[in-house]
Amino acid sequence: MTAQLTPKLTLGPVLFHWSAEKMQDFYARIADEAEVDIVYLGEIVCSKRAPFFDPLLPDIIERLQRGGKEVVLSSRALVMTEREARMTAGQIAGAGETGCTVEANDLGAVRRLAGRPHVIGPYVNVYNEGTLAYLARQGAIRVCLPPELPGATINALVAGTPVPLEVLAFGRMPLAISARCFHARAEGLHKDSCRYACGNDPDGCTVRTLDGEAFLAINGTQTLSQTCLNLSGELPGLAAAGIRHFRLSPQAIDMVAVSRLFRGVLDGGLTAAQAEAGLAALAGALRFSNGFVHGREGRALLQAQDRGASSRATA
């Protein structure tokens, strides 16, 4: 029965410090035009950004729900102060008033949400069946897996999971989050007087090696992959294995068009090659990768003929 369910497409929270106007315009288009079923909302990277976005949330939630989207409120990925703990507690307490579920992105939120339905985000390390079973007992109704898992591990988790699983299918991959602000440091500033330097890089700031090679991307206190994950070619196999939710992480490109291409592959109206060609036309300077799911380095991009060999090796 489960294998016959149509996979759902989800949109993760915006990771970057976009202006209020850009956020409003972005979510208006998502509500009216995007081919996504579920939208995650919330400032998960830096609590200093929250005052710019939180006042917009009621209107954005109402607009998305009116557009037929399910809304999930995402908690902070790193809570370090009493103020941030109170913010998370308030977010959880107020979620019911908006009809939204909460996504826990740290173990403190997992503890606060115990006993009530919630989603586990990709910032909570879930690498084995025992962790999945524990989280399900705590009330998790869906788990988004970390992006670094190889396909063999994903298949094993799907086979033994008590709850639906979600995978990140598009966007720069979250690799780490820190107490320090890399963006501020790069500008010669301190975190407390950062001047919101991260707002200058709507897709993150490229970090280069001493040889000048693009290596990673920074987003305030967050480290992201330099490459943009693109699993459009892997969607059929992951769906056949039992993955029911595929997450797109917002980038500063046309995410409505991105959602339509992924939906086309999931519904069978587009081939993976057609989707990949469409995504390449939208990507601009973003470079794609899919290495982790094939058990390779994350920045690798495997072509169709390489995927088959990699899958056989993994199996």
> pLDDT tens-digit profile of 185-228?
988 998 888 999 999 999 999 999 999 999 999 999 999 999 99
Max Cα–Cα distance, the chain, nearest Å: 57
Distance CA 152, CA 157 (A): 9
The answer, as to whether pTM is greater than 0.85, is yes
Write down the architecture of domain 2-173+225-285 according to CATH.
Alpha-Beta Barrel (3.20)
Distance CA 260, CA 270 (A): 10
For 232, the token pair is 């459009």
How confident is the model at residue 257, as a pLDDT? 98
Q: How confident is the model over 13-34, as pLDDT tens digits?
A: 999 999 999 999 999 999 999 9
2 against 81, higher pLDDT: 81
pLDDT at 315 over 90: no
pLDDT at 309 over 80: no
Q: How confident is the model over 265-302, as pLDDT tens digits?
A: 999 999 999 999 999 999 988 999 999 999 999 999 99
Task: Note whether 80 and 88 are within 8 A (CB).
Answer: no
Going from the C-alpha of 282 to that of each of 29, 51, 302, the distances in angstroms are 17, 31, 19
Distance CA 49, CA 80 (A): 15
Mean pLDDT computed over every residue of the chain: 93
| Strands 101-104 vs 70-74: parallel, antiparallel or unpaired | parallel
Lowest mean pLDDT among 1-10, 107-116, 141-150, 259-268: 1-10
Select from 219, 226, 220, 243 the least CA-distant residue to 293. Answer: 243
Pure H helices in the chain: 20-33, 50-53, 57-66, 82-98, 107-113, 129-138, 151-160, 182-186, 235-241, 255-267, 272-283, 304-314
Task: Note whether 288 and 248 are within 8 A (CB).
Answer: no
Beta bridge partners of 35: none
Lowest mean pLDDT among 38-52, 103-117, 226-240, 301-315: 301-315
**Residue ranges per structural domain of the chain:** 2-173+225-285
Integer-rounded Cα Rg, in Å, for the chain is: 19
